[in-house]
Amino acid sequence: MKLLTKISGALIATAVIIVMLLSLAGVFHKKVPGGVAESPPQKSADHTLVAVKLIKRQRFETAIGTIKPVHESAMASKLLARVVEVNVKAGQAVKKDELLIKLDDADLQARLQQAEANEATSLARKQQAESEYARSKRLLEKSAVSQSEYDQALTAMQATTSEAERAKQSVREARVILEYATLRSPLDGTVVDKRVEVGDTVTPGQVLVTMYDPTHMQMVAVVRESLAMRLTVGQKLTATLESLGYECDATVSEIVPEAQAASRSFIVKVIGPCPSGVYSGMFGRLKLPMGDEEVLVIPEKAVRRVGQLTLVDVEHEHRVQRRAVQLGRDFDGEVEVLSGLRPDEQVVVSAAPTEGAGQ
């Protein structure tokens, strides 16, 4: 009897536990029928039905570009000399022919004075030789001198004429070299960097100042081979400067006819209206057309967000279904639908803005 009592108690306890588990699992509760939640169509002046549209839009690919000046200059020294004057600093605006840097030119001044003195001596010898030649020519006509004396006078005149011309060119050369000691701006522009100070000794070929013209800028972009082949010089493209929030129509000015072996891409240069505040080296993007694509769109006002879900109300057989959709890009009040809708279906659009609508 004791054994039967223990077995009966165990069975009763097991039955109670099973009933409790089934109750917690909802077995004894009334089930909600499955399917898509539907509601009667809303007849309100604040709601309208709009068809899902399939539109064609031009596709674009973006190429990364860098802003660079069209006209830039790196001014280097042609002399071994000491810097005696510096009149510029980085960021300074300068005018064409404005004095930027002055080098020590004492030895060049002395060389010029020597050349000028030699020229004066050569001119005096030339004048004397010309006078002797003229006298010999008159005497030869009167048979007062021999032919050889006349020839000697002619040769002397020609030699002194050559010496005078050589002395003249020496003076010209000395003046040109003297100009090397004075560095002047080759254009109206902005100084990027000044690399010397007063007292420094510079060498031939050493860059002293770099500058560019800020009124003529260009974007240099790296474009992959298949897209570069579609571009032509003079073609209009859209260029953007994200840091300035600026967008403009740019013109292809140059396509470098050589592909980069590592990336199989071409260098493309574009020019366009240049806004203020643009500097060399800034980041930009170039939009490259790639043909048309078909895009499914609905109004942004038709979209609702519930938690992590993006929902729209769809009219189906005179009833409204709430359906989850996956959205993509925004297009001026419309949004791309990636999945969840088909063309020509009707979505409910609320005239009043709904909290959480849009993307």
Chain length of the chain: 359
pLDDT value for 46: 58
pLDDT value for 352: 54
Report pLDDT digits (tens) over 271-295: 988 777 788 889 999 988 877 788 8
Task: Tell me the mean pLDDT in the region 69-85.
Answer: 93
CATH topology of domain 38-57+294-350: 2.40.420
More confident residue, 28 or 233: 233
Secondary structure E strands in 161-259: 182-184, 189-194, 201-202, 207-212, 217-224, 236-241, 246-255
Looking at the predicted structure, is the pLDDT value of residue 353 above 60? no
CATH of domain 61-71+212-292: 2.40.30.170
DSSP secondary structure string for all residues of 298-333 = EEGGGEEEETTEEEEEEEETTEEEEEE-EEEEEETT
Question: DSSP 3-state assignment of 337?
Answer: strand
Closest CA to 199 of 77, 101, 78, 82: 82
Contact 71, 159 (CB under 8 A): no
Contact 337, 53 (CB under 8 A): no
Structure tokens at 185: 């701006």
Report pLDDT digits (tens) over 222-276: 998 888 888 999 999 989 998 888 888 899 999 998 888 888 899 999 998 877 7
Question: How far are the Cα atoms of 35, 39, 46, 347 from residue 42, in angstroms, in the given order?
Answer: 20, 8, 10, 12
Report pLDDT digits (tens) over 174-205: 999 999 999 999 999 999 999 999 999 999 99
What is the location of CATH 1.10.287 in the chain? 105-180
CATH topology of domain 105-180: Helix Hairpins (1.10.287)
Question: DSSP 3-state assignment of 66?
Answer: strand
What is the location of CATH 2.40.420.20 in the chain? 38-57+294-350
pLDDT value for 199: 93
Looking at the predicted structure, is the pLDDT value of residue 210 above 50? yes
More confident residue, 44 or 81: 81
What is the location of CATH 2.40.30.170 in the chain? 61-71+212-292
